[in-house]
Each structure stands twice: as structure tokens, then as C-alpha cells.
Amino acid sequence: MTTPSMGQVTIRSVGAGGDGVANMPDGQIYVPFTLPGEVVNVAREKHRATMIALLGASPERQQPACRHFEDCGGCALQHWQDEPYRQWKRDMVVASLKGRGIDVAVDPLVACAPQTRRRAVFAMRKTEKGVLLGFNRHQSHEIIDISECAVTVPEIIARLDDLREVGALLATGTKPFKLAATLTASGLDLAASGCGVLTDVQKRALTALVMKKGFARLSHEGEIIVEPKKPIINFGKVPVPIPPGCFLQATVDAEETMVSLVLSHLGKAKKVADLFCGVGTFALRIAEKSAVHAVENDAAALAALDRGVRHVQGLKPVTIERRDLFRRPFMPKELLGFDAVVFDPPRAGAEEQAQELAKSKVEKVVAISCNPVTFARDLSILVKGGYRITRVTPIDQFLWSPHVEAVAMLVKK
């Protein structure tokens, strides 16, 4: 194990991971919780360092919104004032696009309000003193017990003690595990993972506790333990009974912003393909005006979308298809007849699908991504194929983190 070296550094910028960056003779070092222009004493180990003392603070530094900031590891940038923080996030999208030779106007960042994240994944562990519930310390496996959170909805934070009770019954020893809590229209949906094999005695006790506390559902590794109420998420007119652990946009406000952008670009398109559709975040809104073919590889998500749409009148036709778009992207011939395509892939992007889409005659495309690097790569493929980017909008769906969402609109004549 190497011994950290001590020294004084000046922070030149904030890197893509949210840490301050200092230029040294042997390369860059990364110092969490620092800002451009700040002078700090650090303990350095290779290319990472820990701030020991802040010698010269930036005028852009502000008081963090949460008492656990710098300890719990959930947020990276609460100490940065809103305007420079938002400019930095927008600049990440701009830089990624320019790195691919794309020089287009980028909208101002759509801001995210505190206490709006509707899903939190807590780290938990049983100890002699009780159950720890919180997040892992930065660059560590240590769980920091929390009593508040500046990004998560109050409906979840108000139930921390109840979640600890659930965790006490889930724990099979001192091994850490995860408990995700999602706010739905039916109440909190809880999804545990990493608890090991649950006994029948545990399951009976958990069932009684979940019923008593009024939670909508508890699942473990995708298996439903108890479900007093179907957890429902409303997508436009359609209430969808979501499966355990399914993907949802992090905040309702960001989702509504993205939906508005998508619908404005689609206009009067008669037939739309929604690729990587999930449980129908976009498809079910689009179906209010256009026929939709919704494509997704997750069988449970597709089944939930199908169940939701079957009980709602007044929508245009919605068809579904289970398909691995990484292995079997839609080919240009298959896209004939579609006026528009919407795609919102995982962080890895949709390189294979973008290559086939670039060869197609689809007139309008909306690309959505939470990773500026793969977003820019996929857009560059479409641009080389004859598409023109008409608008790019970055959205701060992940407040005080280094992650940023982006929506691009493209047309092809």
C-alpha cells in the first residue's frame, strides 16, 4: 500500500466525473469537492487526492443543501453555485458534440429542482447498534447513515425509519445489501437485492410489516414477496402497473420536459417507432396522436406496457415487439412506412441502430441519452447519413451529480 503524499495544488477545472482537476508535472490529479481556481492542501495517492485544507475558496462556492454532503457520496456538486454548475453541465454536452465534429446550437440547461428524485437506491447493513441506511462514502464501501436527502422526494425520506425496519428483517447477517424505493401513484414500491436466500419465516414477517406500513409492494431479486397494491405509474392517460426494478426517468419534471420535446418534433407523424421503449414513457404519450410500434428487450417492461394500454380508450394503435436492438437493430427496409423514430437507449448508446437508421428514409428522429459521449457518437453517425440536427436540449435530471440528460431532434429530406 502506497503512502499518500502531501502538497498544495490549484484546481484548474471540474472534470467529467465532477471532481476538481489540478495539472501536475506527471499528469492530472482529481480532487473531489473542489472548484476551479481554488487552492487546496491535498493528500495524494497516484492520480486521486483528498482535500485536507481549503486555502483559497472560489467565489462560486456555496453552502451545501444537505448536512451529509461530502460524507454520503450521493452528490458531487452541492458546493457549486447554480449558474456556473449549470453552465458546466451544458458545456459537457457541447464539448462531446464538438469532439465528434458537430457544431450546433445547444439550448440552456433545463434545471432540476431539489427533492424531486422519485427513486432512491439505498445501501443497507445490519450492525450491533441497528440498521445502517444511506449511501456509500465517496470512493468507499463504507455506508453513511442518513437522516435527510436534498435530492430525493420527501415521500421517501419521511419513511426512512420504516425502511430500516424492513431492512432489519431482510438482513441475513452483516453483509451489505440494497433497497430501492420508488414513489408510485399507489405508494412506495420497494425492491431489495443482495440479501441472500430469504427464509419462509423472513417472508412472513416482511409480508406482515409491509401490510402494516402501507407499502405498495416488496420484491427481492425481482421476485414479489408481497404486493398489497399494484404500483402504478401514469404515462399520460395510461396507468401502467410497473414490474419490480423497472427503469423510470429519475424525475417527473424531467420526464415531462422530454415528452414535450418529443411530441413537438413528431408533430403530425402518423406512424412512429419507439425503440428501447421501456414501460412506455414516450410510446404511451405518442399514442394519443400517432400509431406507435414499441420495441424493447425487457419482457416484463413490455408486458406492463401492454397491460396498461389494453384498458384505455381513445389511443391510436399501439403494437409491441420484444427485440434485442444491440444484436438485431431495425434495418432500413423495416423502417419503411415510419414517419419518425424515437430512441432512448442505455448509457452504452445505440451505435448499431444508429448505423442502420442513418441508411433509412425516416424523416424525423428524436435521440435521447444520459451519456453525452455515446450521445455525440450516435448523432455523428446520423449526421454522416444525411440527417440534420435542428435542436439539442440538455436536461439536469440528476441534480448535483456529473450526469446529464440530452434530447436531440433531427430531420432528413
pLDDT tens digit string along 103-122? 999 999 999 999 999 999 99
* Mean pLDDT to the nearest integer, 47-60: 96
Q: Domain check: are 168 and 306 in the same one?
A: no
Q: Domain check: are 186 and 258 in the same one?
A: no
Indicate the pLDDT class of residue 366, thresholds 50, 70 and 90: very high
Indicate the pLDDT class of residue 311, thresholds 50, 70 and 90: confident
Pick from 261, 301, 302, 307: which is nearest to 285 by CA? 261
Give me the catalytic one of 72, 112, 246, 370. 370
Binding residues: 249, 276, 296, 344
Q: Domain check: are 273 and 309 in the same one?
A: yes
Structural domain of residue 56, as residue ranges? 1-61
pLDDT of 53 strictly over 80: yes
In a domain, 239, yes or no: no
Q: What is the pTM of this model?
A: 0.94
Q: Domain check: are 98 and 136 in the same one?
A: no
pLDDT of 4 strictly over 80: no
Indicate the pLDDT class of residue 220, thresholds 50, 70 and 90: very high
Q: Domain check: are 270 and 385 in the same one?
A: yes
The pLDDT, as a whole number, for residue 173 is 84
The pLDDT, as a whole number, for residue 142 is 93
The pLDDT, as a whole number, for residue 400 is 98
Active site residue 112: no
In a domain, 256, yes or no: yes
Q: Please tell me the distance from the alpha carbon of residue 411 to that of residue 389, in angstroms, as a whole number.
A: 7
The pLDDT, as a whole number, for residue 3 is 61
* Mean pLDDT to the nearest integer, 234-238: 96
* Mean pLDDT to the nearest integer, 30-49: 96
Based on its alpha-carbon atoms, the radius of gyration of the chain, rounded to whole angstroms, reads 23
Q: Domain check: are 214 and 327 in the same one?
A: no
**How does the average pLDDT of the chain come out, rounded?**
96
Q: Domain check: are 200 and 220 in the same one?
A: yes
In a domain, 66, yes or no: no
In a domain, 257, yes or no: yes
> What's the domain count of the chain?
3
Q: Domain check: are 296 and 393 in the same one?
A: yes
pLDDT by residue (tens digit) across 173-211?
A: 889 999 999 999 999 999 999 999 999 999 999 999 999
The pLDDT, as a whole number, for residue 6 is 81
* Mean pLDDT to the nearest integer, 146-152: 97
Pick from 372, 397, 344: which is nearest to 110 by CA? 397
Binding residues for S-adenosyl-L-methionine: 249, 276, 296, 344
pLDDT by residue (tens digit) across 268-303?
A: 999 999 999 999 999 999 999 999 999 999 999 999
In a domain, 168, yes or no: yes
Q: Domain check: are 368 and 293 in the same one?
A: yes
